[in-house]
Amino acid sequence: MPLSGGGSGGYAARLSEYKNKGVVGLPERHDSTRVLEKKLLKLAQLVYASPKIAVLTGAGISTSAGIPDFRGPKGIWTLEDKEKKKAGKSRKRKHEETSTEGGGEEVTLEMESPPPPSDDPPPPPDDPFQAVPPTPTHMALAKLVSCNVLQCIITQNVDGVHLRSGVPRDKLCILHGDCFTEKCEKCGEEYFRDFDIGGVSFKYTGRSCEKADCDGLLRDTILDWEDELPEKDWDMAQDVCDEADLVLALGTSLRIVPAGQLPLRAKKFVIVNLQNTPYDSEAELVIHAKVDEVMTGLMKLLL
């Protein structure tokens, strides 16, 4: 089964094989209308009482734009895990049948060696990320940034939608890269495109820096599993959370480290997610609802 939809499946396919993706496929929970109304009032009170607020976003804020998440019931890694289990069972049955009919002869499956690393420009992605419009959550966050209610948005997403919503780059910490951004290896200038750059782990894109005084080559910005987080963005994210009175963790399972541990650095944090997270018991408030519904309700109370 191809892991597609919005292009995030194509992004996931670029990553190297990594077995320990953690818990996937947890059931979703939904607060009742009455409970949600009470929680929204408490959330608004927390926002009003917090001079310094940061937001950590995950894949759950982009699902309403048609981009699937990773760990939900229909998430990319959830479906991948199911397919692997099915394939494993299929291989086992076939091996047993072959052994029975072939007199017990052992069957050896050889794995193809991965190609050597290359700095050649990557081919166009088979399932490119689509430039989707911002969701109500993205637009609400952009509004709160412009009103100086939010000091910073920290995102684990690679879909470029925060930038497309109008959030200034200096108010955005992009921890895992951006499928639409390529960066000059020489001067550090970033170029936000209207197409998926392709590639992973800082490969050359085949383009050069457009600044008159620079001849540097451009690389993709997408992190693979073992790549280090970008120093500038990561340092800023830590500093912002250390100083924050409140961090809102929106649409994230908080299971990818070190990003998932950032809310713990703040004085208080709130989790908005349909699934349980490892830090629910430490949060000031946990809301089980769709993020768009929560942010729409919050904006009505704040503005």
Active site residues: 176
The neighbouring-strand residues paired with 154 are 56, 173
Return the percent helix, strand and coil in the chain, to nearest 5: 35, 15, 50
Helix (H) or strand (E) holding 241: helix 231-243
The neighbouring-strand residues paired with 182 are 191, 220
Nearest to 263 by CA among 76, 62, 23, 58: 58
HSE-CB for 19 with a 13 A CA cutoff? 1
Contact 185, 293 (CB under 8 A): no
Structure tokens at 79: 């479906």
Measured in degrees and rounded to the nearest 5, phi and psi for residue 248 equal -100, 120
Q: How far is CA 34 from CA 74, 99, 299, in A?
A: 27, 60, 18
Characterize the bridge pairing of strands 268-272 and 285-287.
parallel
DSSP class of residue 61? Answer: G
CA dist 153 and 162 (Å) reads: 9
